[in-house]
Amino acid sequence: MKSYNIILAGVGGQGLVLTTKILAEVALKAGYSVKTNDVIGLSQRGGKVWGSVKMDSEVFSPNIAVGQADFVIGFEPLEAYRHCYFLRKKGTIIVNTHKIPPIPVMFEQVAYPEDIYEKLDAEYELVKIEAVEEAMKLGNVKVANTFLLGALASRMMIDKSIWIEAISENVPRKTVEANLKAFDAYFEKQ
């Protein structure tokens, strides 16, 4: 079975924990051994947060060494960029393009960096998704992360039915349908 190392990066409050959990469930159902790091600490209040998922036939540490990740899922562009050095050469970075300005930007001390995508595109496979805008079209901002999952799933060798099962079991019941639509949107595009 092909092993996968995935880093998730975003801003506190964006739902990284649930996404990490769904990825772990997918791995379990697909017969992997899996370990993850969840988001911890103070940063849950709008700070920078990251998690990791490692799936293999046997996994020891939940940590992914720098340069060893196959995928980085960026829930926010700046955070995607901050964590890109975890990627192996030619790894894939999937980015939600919706910006959340950090305090130094809000207070006009520095500008929000404009060249993020150029830099990422030069070294990695870059997938940009306007997840918040697309989610609002589906009538539910909360499904934004599932667009990213769809794009990830289409690049991994795990059966689609497993993803659908894991998503349906873990998102709030009322949002299952919207989430599956969001998942399909980028799974189909592949």
Partner 1 sequence: MKKVLNGNEAVARGFYEAGGLVSASYPGSPTVEIIQTLIDEYDEIYAEFSINEKVAVEVGIGASIAGARTLVAMKHVGVNVAMDPLMTFTQTPINGGFVLISGDDPGMSSSQNEQDNRILAKFAHMCVFDPGDAMEAKVMTKEALSISETFGLPVMVRMTSRVCHSRSIVELEDRVDRVVSGFSKKIEDYGMIPPHTFKKQYEMKNRIAKLQDFIESSPINRLEDDYRSDVLIVTSGLMYQNLKELNLKLDVLKLGVVYPLPIEQIRALKKRYARVIVIEEMMPFIEDELKIHGIACEGKEFFSFTGELMSEAILKGLEGAGAVEANDAEVIEATETVNRFSMFCAGCPHRPVFDILKKNKVSVIGDIGCYSLAVLEPFELVNTIISMGASIGMMKGMSKAYQMAERQEPLVAVIGDGTFYHSGMTGMLNLLHQLDPDYNLTLLILNNGTTAMTGGQQTASSGYYTDKSDMKVDMETLIRSMGFERFKRVDQFEYKAAKKVIDEELKYEGLSIVMTTRACALQYKIVKPHYVVDPDICIGCRSCLKTNCPPILMKAYEGHDKLKSSIAKEMCVGCSVCAQVCPVGAIKSSSAGEV
Binding site for partner 1 (CB under 8 A): 11-13, 20-21, 24-25, 27-28, 33-48, 59-63, 65-67, 78-79, 81-85, 100-108, 110, 112-113, 132, 136, 141
User: In terms of CB distance, is 63 or 190 closer to partner 1?
Assistant: 63
Candidates 32, 72, 24, 21; CA nearest to 56 is: 32
| Residue 141: DSSP 8-state | G
Closer to partner 1 at the Cβ: 49 or 151?
49
Say which residue the tokens 């306007």 belong to. 130
Beta carbons of 5 and 37 less than 8 angstroms apart: no
Give me 142's structure tokens: 């909360």
Nearer to partner 1, 123 or 177 (CB): 123
Residue 43 Cβ vs partner 1, minimum distance, rounded to whole Å: 6
CB of 162 vs partner 1, minimal distance in Å: 13
Residue 88 or 184: the one with the smaller Cβ distance to partner 1 is: 88
Please give the Cα distance from 21 to 146 (Å, whole number): 13
Residue 69: CB minimum distance to partner 1, A:
11
Least separation, in Å, of the C-beta of 41 and partner 1?
A: 3
Bridge partners (DSSP) of residue 53 are 6, 36
Q: How far is the CB of 190 from partner 1 (least distance, A)?
A: 26
Helix (H) or strand (E) holding 9: strand 4-11
Max intra-chain CA distance, the chain: 49
Residue 59 Cβ, how far from partner 1 at the closest point, in Å?
7
User: With respect to partner 1, which residue has the nearer C-beta, 27 or 185?
Assistant: 27
68 vs 184 by CB, closer to partner 1:
68
From 85, 97, 91, select the one nearest 147 (Cα to Cα).
97
Measured distance CA(130)–CA(147) in Å, rounded: 9
